[in-house]
Structure formats: structure tokens, C-alpha cells
Amino acid sequence: MATRNDGGIMYTFQWKIENISHCCGLKVQDEIESPVFDTDALEDAKWSLVLRPLGADYKNYVGFFLRRQDSDGPTEIEINYKLAFLGKDGSVLKEKFSSHIFPFEYALGYQKFESRERIFFTEREEFLPEDALTVQVTLWKKDESIAKLKHLYARTVFKVNRISFVWRIENYSTVKPLLRNKHKDNLIDFDLVLNDDLGKVEIDMISFDDSIKYVSFNTSIIDSEGKKKNIRVSKYFAGDLKKGILSCMFIPKLLMGNKRLYLPNDVLSLYFESVYSTETKSNELFDCRIISPKLTKELVENSSNSAVLIDDLKSMYMDGILSDMELRTSKQTFPAHKNILSARSPVFRRMFSNDMKESSSGYVDITDLESDTVHRMLLYIYTDILEDLQIESACKLYTAADKYEIMSLKGECSSFLKDNLCPTKTCDVLILADQHQDDNLKSAVQDYILEHNEVFNLLEWEHFMETNLKLAAEVMYRKVKSGKIYPASG
């Protein structure tokens, strides 16, 4: 067990909930709970994360809690912990810190962690990329110095059935009401009905399986340019489906006045997407390696002199003091200094030393990198520090480092990726290594896959085989050659 003198372990547990909009049948106060994870260096305590998507006393908010499970260890344990919602690249969108004593079977957190409006509506693309919410807890023993960092990952997938089709209504100007378009599969049977003087589409629910708890219908009109207009989303729970006739969409008469755009050749094209979910969900937990914390902002240790220098250089970058160059992405402009960029990157040095347009124009356009990646690259150039890296952001930063030949940064990113590999991310890192002809990183990823047979059972691997057949074949060849094609006995 770790002692105060030896330094303890800081645990970071990241949990991704896929298809969260379809966590079917939930009511106020209902919970989604993560797989249980172990923290053996924290008195052998076991924990889980708890989400209340519809809140409890505050129904307009999402509740977020850390729960201690009944397990071995002391009756009470005092820890520091941070709860966070993450963006697609691993950036922190919302974070709260607390310190508390946890007895067995005790949960603490926030009933009003973040508003439902912000998560599910106004900032949905940031919080729910591809309808997945990623949350995280970082926890460590109170008053204990940190020597190592351990990452754990889990995923919960709400199973959904998604069917989309286009209903082309020919001779729309002369068609009669009550025209039907039938749809049926193994679990649901319904008709789309054109009603009310052709201005309304309704759903006539014929039958549905008892396992279906929630259905959404996404509808729109497709114009002559292939664009979707008058988009509407209708959501129904099992109780609603029993009513039979459900409202689906309205066809505005003003919209139909523009026949060239919406009725080319007197054909109305309606797009429908039906998404329904059952109570089925799957949970996966991945245990990744313990790593040294040199890449973690809170744990970077510098001498007092170097710390002062780093702070001064960081201020030059952040405040744009005496800047003479700008790096411009599609969304943001970053002030910088030619001398510092040239000292750290041979590419920038050549750019500013020769008669290239960037040298005279005072700016460099970087449209192929995201603003967050450029910021991380510049922060490293000025301070040699990497902050809050995740697999996704490390992959993007690796690409930037390779482009601008910042070899120390490329090496740091490569080391981070090797140390933080987990089954769901291996395919992405393997593709990255192959694209940049990094045989060392590629070999490390292949070794990891061969040591973790669970990779081959994931949907990510199935998709990888379909889109990267040669790379998948290389892994399988090594698997056969190593004799690991069959599971170990006993």
C-alpha cells in the first residue's frame, strides 16, 4: 500500500455513455450508474459514478455523483475528488472539486452539476458529440503526495435501432388525403399517413414490442438541392405509443408555395428517421497502465528557477507581449514570436528565414489543425508543458508535432499514447502510427492488442477491419505467428 513518504496514486476514471438521448424510460430521480472500478491504493476502495439525466429535486439539471461501494477497507476514507464533463477532444467543459469523507455505500456530488438545456440543446455538439456524453472523476487520498497516475476507462452503450428512409410522394398536387406509407420490422409496425388536406403527416402505430420504451421520429422536407428543411424531432415513450395516432410533422403551406424548390416535378420528398430503444445496454470496463505523472499539469515538478522562467515565457505567449507573428486557424488567431517558433521548430525556422509569404505577411494560416491543438502546441513550444492530455487530443497534437518537426513534442505524445492505451482507442492510435510511419509506436500498439484479446470483440475492431483491412491483417498475422490465435487454457 502506498504511504505518504512513498507518494500515492491519483486515479482518473473516464466513463463514456453512448446514445445517451435514448436512456429509455427514465423518470425524474432515475439513475445511470457506471461499472464499478477499484482503487487498490486508496485503501482498496471501490467506486462508481452516478448520473441523473432528468435530475431529482431540480429537474432542469443533470445530477452527477461519486458513490463508494461496499467493499474491503476502512469504514471511512477521506479523499479529494474532481468531477468533470469532457468534450470530444478530452477538454474539460465543466469541472467541480471537493474533499470529503466517504463511508460505505455513500454518494456525494451535485444535484445541479449542469443544466439540461446546455447539455441537450444549446451546446449539444460540445457536450454530446455523436450522442455520447463523456464524464470523468479524478480522485486521490487527502494530504498525500502524488507519485503516479492511473487511468481507467469504461463505456456504457444504450442499444438503439435506427432506420431511415425517404418517402417520395409523386403527383403531390393531385394526391388525395389518407395516403399511407407502411413500415414494419421485428419490433415495431406503423404507417405514415398524409392527412388534413395534405398538410399533416401522422403516425398510425399498429403494434410494437413490449421491450420498446422510447421512440423518436426525425422528420424533414428535402428540397431540390438535397437540403433538409422544416426539421422536427418527435419523442414518444411507451405510454404514448399505446394511444395509436401520433403527430409527426406539419407541411407549411407557405413552404409549398415555392414549388421549384420543394416540389420539383410535382414530387414531395419527406425524410424520416426512426430511432427506438429498449432496456438493453452493455457495460465495459478497461484497466489501463500506471504511468508517471510528468505530463500532468498538477504534478509537474520544476526547480524554482526554471519555474519562474516557464511562467515568464507562458505570460509572453498568453498575453501576446511584443508578438511579431500570428498563427491563424479557421476559428482563432494566436499571437506568437518568430524567434521562439524558429528555435523550437525547423519548419517555422525555414518559413521565416526564406522569402516565403509568411515571413512578410506577419501571419501563418493553419487551416488543417483545430484551435485547441494549435494552442496546446504553442503552450509546449513556450513552456515545455503538456496540460490535461487525453487520447484524442494527444493524437491531434502528435500530428501537429510531426508537421512542424517538433521532435521532442512528438516523442512526448508518443510516450503518452503508449502509456495510456486502452482497448477502445487502440485502432485510432494504430492508424495514426501507420499514417506517420512511426514503426516504434505501431509496434507498441500491435503488442498491446495481442496482449488484450478483448479488443477483437469490440465494435471498434469490426469497423477497423472493414476500413483498414491491411493493418488488421498485419495484426492477425502477428497473432498467428506468435501462437496467440487460440485462448490460453486453464
Q: How many CA atoms lie within 13 A of 138 on its CB side?
A: 16
Q: Report the distance separating Cα 101 and Cα 104, nearest Å.
A: 10
| DSSP tag of 82 | E
Q: What pLDDT score does 4 carry?
A: 41
Grid coordinates standing for 410?
512528438
Site of grid cell 480522485: 139
Span 62-106, pLDDT tens digits:
999 999 998 778 899 999 999 999 988 778 899 999 999 999 989
Q: How many CA atoms lie within 13 A of 245 on its CB side?
A: 7
Q: What pLDDT score does 254 carry?
A: 61
Sign of the torsion formed by the C-alpha atoms of 54, 59, 62 and 63: negative
**List of the chain residues with pLDDT < 70:** 1-7, 24-29, 55-57, 196-198, 252-256, 278-282, 285-308, 359, 483-490
Grid coordinates standing for 446?
500491435
Q: What pLDDT score does 149 carry?
A: 82
Look at residues 47, 28, 48, 50 and name the one whose alpha carbon lies nearest to residue 39.
47
Work out the number of other CB atoms within 10 angstroms of the CB of residue 306: 11
Q: Please report the domains of the chain, with CATH numbers, ordered by start residue.
A: 8-146 (2.60.210.10), 160-281 (2.60.210.10), 304-414 (3.30.710.10), 421-481 (1.25.40.420)
Encode 171-212 in three state secondary structure. CHHHCCCCEEEEEECCCEEEEEEEECCCCEEEEEEEEECCCC
Grid coordinates standing for 411?
516523442
Whether residue 149 contacts residue 98, with contact meaning beta carbons closer than 8 Å, is answered with no
Q: What pLDDT score does 383 carry?
A: 87
Q: What pLDDT score does 35 carry?
A: 92
Whether residue 158 contacts residue 24, with contact meaning beta carbons closer than 8 Å, is answered with yes
Span 267-281, pLDDT tens digits:
888 888 888 776 656
Q: What pLDDT score does 299 carry?
A: 39
Q: What pLDDT score does 114 carry?
A: 93
DSSP state string for 10-52: EEEEEEEEETGGG-TT--TT--EEPPPEEETTTTTEEEEEEEE
Q: What pLDDT score does 54 carry?
A: 77
